[in-house]
Amino acid sequence: EAGVAQSPRYKIIEKRQSVAFWCNPISGHATLYWYQQILGQGPKLLIQFQNNGVVDDSQLPKDRFSAERLKGVDSTLKIQPAKLEDSAVYLCASSLGGGFFEQYFGPGTRLTVT
């Protein structure tokens, strides 16, 4: 079974530039998550999708971050414009349904904003 795929693995941009991350979840997983993990901290949920609908985006900085899930499968997370404090690892995960099941994580995208 293929795992969660993410790209790119690394990205370096200057502040005020824009960046996009892509995620392909495990086939058949209805729930998809985007997390932000700052060095030395646990992952923080940014947005949770159930199929192609948003379930929770309470911690997504909506003035600069946006996300969509196309046809209930792949997802993209965009930051525009980026700030220095956005430097982090962005993790995508998927599960069969909500937090009542284990989540499978991708390898993450390490973003450095200079």
Partner 1 sequence: SQQGEEDPQALSIQEGENATMNCSYKTSINNLQWYRQNSGRGLVHLILIRSNEREKHSGRLRVTLDTSKKSSSLLITASRAADTASYFCATAESGNTGKLIFGQGTTLQVKP
Residues that bind partner 1 (CB under 8 A): 4, 33, 35, 40-45, 48, 50, 55-56, 59, 91, 93, 97-108, 110
User: 3-class DSSP state for residue 70?
Assistant: helix
Nearer to partner 1, 17 or 57 (CB): 57
Considering the complex, what minimum distance in angstroms separates the CB of residue 9 from partner 1? 10
Q: Sign of dihedral through CA atoms 44, 110, 25, 74?
A: positive
Nearer to partner 1, 46 or 113 (CB): 46
Nearer to partner 1, 15 or 101 (CB): 101
Considering the complex, what minimum distance in angstroms separates the CB of residue 2 from partner 1? 14
Considering the complex, what minimum distance in angstroms separates the CB of residue 57 from partner 1? 11
Judge contact between 37 and 92, C-beta under 8 A: no
Quote the tokens at residue 39.
Answer: 């060095």
Considering the complex, what minimum distance in angstroms separates the CB of residue 18 from partner 1? 24
Quote the tokens at residue 105.
Answer: 């994580």
What is the C-alpha to C-alpha distance for residues 57 and 52, in angstroms, rounded to an integer?
A: 13
User: 3-class DSSP state for residue 36?
Assistant: strand
